[in-house]
Structure 1
Amino acid sequence: MTDLFIDVRHLPDCHVVQLDGELDRTTQPPLAQTFDRLLRADTPKIVVDVTGLAFCDSGGLWTLISSQRQAEARGGGLRLIGVQGALARLLTITQLVHLFPPYRSLAEARTWAGSGGGPA
C-alpha cells in the first residue's frame, strides 16, 4: 500500500498543491478529485509542489496532463515545482518536459505571463 499526502493552500493568485509520497493508480483518485475542485475556478491557476513525490507512474502522470489541459482550456494553467527523481525521468522519457517546464520556485511558477510556456 502506498500513500500520497495532499496539502492545498489557497493564495490570492493561485492554488498551491503540495504532494508527498507516491502517485500511482491507487493514490491517483484523491488527487484527481482535488484537481476537479480547483479547476472549477474561472481561471484556474495551480502550482503543484512535487518536491516530496518519491514515485509517479503513468496513471499519476496522466492525472497531471489531464488537469493541465483542463486548466489551460479555462485560461489558467498547472505548473510543477521541485521536479526531480522518478518524475523528472518520466517527463524526460515521455518527452513531456515542454508541457511541464522546470520551475525552480513558487515565485517563479507564479509568473502567469501567457498561457503555458516555460519559465520567464
Structure 2
Amino acid sequence: MGKTSAMTDLSIDVQRLPSCHVVHLEGELDRMTQPPLAETFARLLRSDTPKIVVDVTGLAFCDSGGLWTLIRALRRAEERGGALRLIGVHGALARLLTIAQLVYRNLTQAATWAGPRGRSR
C-alpha cells in the first residue's frame, strides 16, 4: 500500500500478504505522530475480518497516546472478527505488552491466527 510519513519521525509502510496486512513502523509513535497510523488502521479495519500484524522492530519510542492507538485498533479488529498482533517489540514497550499478552515472537507465529498459545510470555 505504500509508505507514509508524519511531520515528525514516524514511517508507516503497509505490506499486503495473502493472510494479512503487515504494518511496519519506524521512528517514534506518540500523540503527534499517531494520527496517520490511526488513519492507516481505519482503512485496514474496513475489511470483513481484518487481520493486521504490526512490526514495531523499528520503533524507537511509544508513549501512552501511541499505545492507545494500538489498543483501539486491536479492539476494533476483534469487534469485526479479526485480530491485530504485534511483533518486534522491545524495550519498555515489550515489558508492558508482554505482561498484557499482546506480543508475538515473529510474523509466522502472529499470522497463524491461533489463540493465545503462540504469545510470548
TM-score range, shorter chain: 0.7 to 0.9
The equivalent residue for 2:113 is: 112
Question: Structure 2-normalised TM-score?
Answer: 0.86
CA contact (8 A) 1:4 1:22 kept: yes
Of the three residues 25, 48, 51, the one matched with 1:45 is 51
The equivalent residue for 2:3 is: none
Q: 1:113: how far off?
A: 2.3
Q: 1:86: how far off?
A: 3.2
In the alignment of these two chains, the number of paired residues is 113
CA distance in 1, matches of 2:104, 2:97: 14
List aligned pairs for 1:22-61, cutoff 5 A. 22-61=28-67
Show structure 2 runs of 5+ residues with no match.
1-6
Letter in 2 for 1:108: Q
Q: 1:2: how far off?
A: 3.6
Q: CA RMSD in A?
A: 1.6
Deviations 1:13-40 (A, max 9, x none): 1000000000000000000000000000
Three-state SS of the structure 2 residue aligned to 1:16 is strand
The equivalent residue for 1:84 is: 90
Question: Structure 1-normalised TM-score?
Answer: 0.87
Of the three residues 54, 77, 86, the one matched with 1:71 is 77
Q: 1:105: how far off?
A: 1.1
How many percent identity over aligned positions?
73
CA distance in 2, matches of 1:16, 1:64: 14
The equivalent residue for 2:4 is: none
The equivalent residue for 1:4 is: 10
Q: 1:88: how far off?
A: 1.6
Show structure 1 runs of 5+ residues with no match.
none
